[in-house]
Structure 1
Amino acid sequence: MEKLITLTAVAAPINVDNLDTDQLMPKQFLRGIDKSGLAKGLLYNHRHLSDGTTNPDFVLNKPGFENTQIILAGPNFGCGSSREHAVWGLMQYGIRAVIAAGFGEIFYSNCFNNGLLAAKVSPQTSAELFEYLSDEDPCKLTINVKDKEIRTEDGSKIWHFDLAERHQTMLLEGLDMLEATMKDIDSIQAFKEKHEKAFPWMSGLAGRYAKNR
């Protein structure tokens, strides 16, 4: 996956609580057998009016937000169903980071498995960021994954976000879940040998069971 070390980009505020995966990627865009074409479906019912025309009042449709790569969202972002298409759609649209005071659990894991930063901040930090950003006058933020910091473009304000060491490593080194696991292959092998020595009767048990079925 593409590494994410620092990112300076336009940040779009979407102050909606509990914005679930059904809103992020409506069901009609789940019919394909691959990941292509999902950018069109991202937040479709927010970006469009009921007649299918563009909603001029939605932040991502406003002038200056065409190249948005950061979303500041309300709490519990990505709750609801487990559809990974929501993450794929965000990334295809060009989003590399979502900042929120909380995330749906499955969505949160899907983000890092695909190289999307889900930056979890405190409610106070979230409120300060919403106060700083405007949906009329585009502003840029700089995100530093190594330092777990969010800065204004001029560096006058700094906020911090939570990020587990494993997820941080995955982003900094561009690793998916399997590649991150393989970094610990020596420790895994050492545990396997120690376990088999302590419990020899369990060695190869799964293989023997499968063979005898």
Structure 2
Amino acid sequence: MEPFTRLDAKSAPLPLANIDTDQIIPKQFLKTVERAGLAKGLFYDLRFDEQGVEKPDFVLNRPEYKGAGVLVTGDNFGCGSSREHAPWALMDFGVKAVISTSFADIFYNNCFQNGLLPVVLKAEEVAQLMDEARGGNHVVSIDLETQRVTSPSGKVFAFEIDPQRKQKMLLGLDAIGETLTAARSIDTYEMKRALAQPWLEEA
């Protein structure tokens, strides 16, 4: 997992509430455990028509939002079933942060495990970012160290984040990476156990 420190990227407005994980990545794209390639399924039913042709009016298909790294969304983003494929698909598409007033708990947790930053702001702040994202300048800055979001016009919004999650994001540590930081202690424990209880090693 790559460290997340600061992001300066285009923002795309998606003013829809209760976007569930099946809308983020429909079930037909869940047959793989590979993270690469999932971008093709992201918001598939919103991005494409029944013939698989891009809908030109969907925000992520519009030229001015191509390459957007920040998604500004409505309430309760990521509700529905638990799918790690949802943050995988967003990140494979190039989205590195999602800003909303609220997230479903399981999706919120999965984001941190995969390096996607979910930012919770007040309703009026999200509305401000939505409005500015519709303008000519879409670039938003997110500084995780200072916990600040800076809008295209320069307005600054503070956000809260669990200190432990923040530290792991800054260091680029998922659950496995966090465990490996204690590798030396784990090795020492296993050596001591092998000496004290050698019969456990026989199997």
TM-score past 0.5 threshold: yes
Inter-partner Cα distance in structure 2 for 1:49 and 1:161: 37
Q: CA deviation at 1:173?
A: 0.7
CA RMSD of aligned residues (A): 2.3
Inter-partner Cα distance in structure 2 for 1:34 and 1:143: 28
**Contact 2:137–2:152 (Cα < 8 Å) also in 1:** no
Aligned to 2:191: none
Aligned to 2:163: 165
User: Aligned AA for 1:50?
Assistant: E
Inter-partner Cα distance in structure 2 for 1:108 and 1:91: 14
Report the 3-state secondary structure (helix = DSSP H, G, I; strand = E; otherwise coil) of the residue aligned with 1:64. Answer: helix
User: Aligned AA for 1:145?
Assistant: L
Structure 1 residues 165 and 182 mapped into 2: Cα distance closer, same or farther (>3 Å)?
farther
Aligned to 1:148: 147
Provide Cα deviations, 1:44-90, integer angstroms capped at 9, x if missing partner.
Answer: 11111222210000111111211110000111000000011011000
User: Aligned AA for 2:98?
Assistant: V
User: Aligned AA for 1:3?
Assistant: P
Aligned to 1:174: 172
Inter-partner Cα distance in structure 1 for 2:151 and 2:24: 27
Q: CA deviation at 1:151?
A: 0.5
Q: CA deviation at 1:39?
A: 0.6
Aligned to 1:93: 93
User: Aligned AA for 1:176?
Assistant: D
**Contact 2:12–2:65 (Cα < 8 Å) also in 1:** yes
Give matches, 1:1-20, under 5 Å: 1-20=1-20
**Contact 1:65–1:138 (Cα < 8 Å) also in 2:** no
User: Aligned AA for 2:155?
Assistant: K
Inter-partner Cα distance in structure 2 for 1:138 and 1:32: 37
Inter-partner Cα distance in structure 2 for 1:132 and 1:64: 13
Q: Scaled by the length of structure 1, what TM-score is found? A: 0.81
Q: CA deviation at 1:4?
A: 1.0
**Contact 1:64–1:138 (Cα < 8 Å) also in 2:** no
Could you list the runs of 5+ residues in structure 1 that have no partner in the other structure? 189-203
Report the 3-state secondary structure (helix = DSSP H, G, I; strand = E; otherwise coil) of the residue aligned with 1:55. Answer: coil
Q: CA deviation at 1:31?
A: 1.6
Could you list the runs of 5+ residues in structure 2 that have no partner in the other structure? 187-196
Give matches, 1:25-44, under 5 Å: 25-44=25-44
Give matches, 1:35-184, under 5 Å: 35-134=35-134, 137=136, 139-153=138-152, 156-181=154-179
Q: CA deviation at 1:144?
A: 0.2
Q: CA deviation at 1:178?
A: 3.1
Inter-partner Cα distance in structure 2 for 1:125 and 1:184: 40
User: Aligned AA for 1:146?
Assistant: E
**Contact 1:8–1:153 (Cα < 8 Å) also in 2:** no
Q: Scaled by the length of structure 2, what TM-score is found? A: 0.85
User: Aligned AA for 2:117?
Assistant: L
Aligned to 1:192: none
- Aligned length, in residue pairs: 190
**Contact 1:12–1:138 (Cα < 8 Å) also in 2:** no
Inter-partner Cα distance in structure 2 for 1:31 and 1:51: 21
Inter-partner Cα distance in structure 2 for 1:177 and 1:53: 39
Report % sequence identity: 39
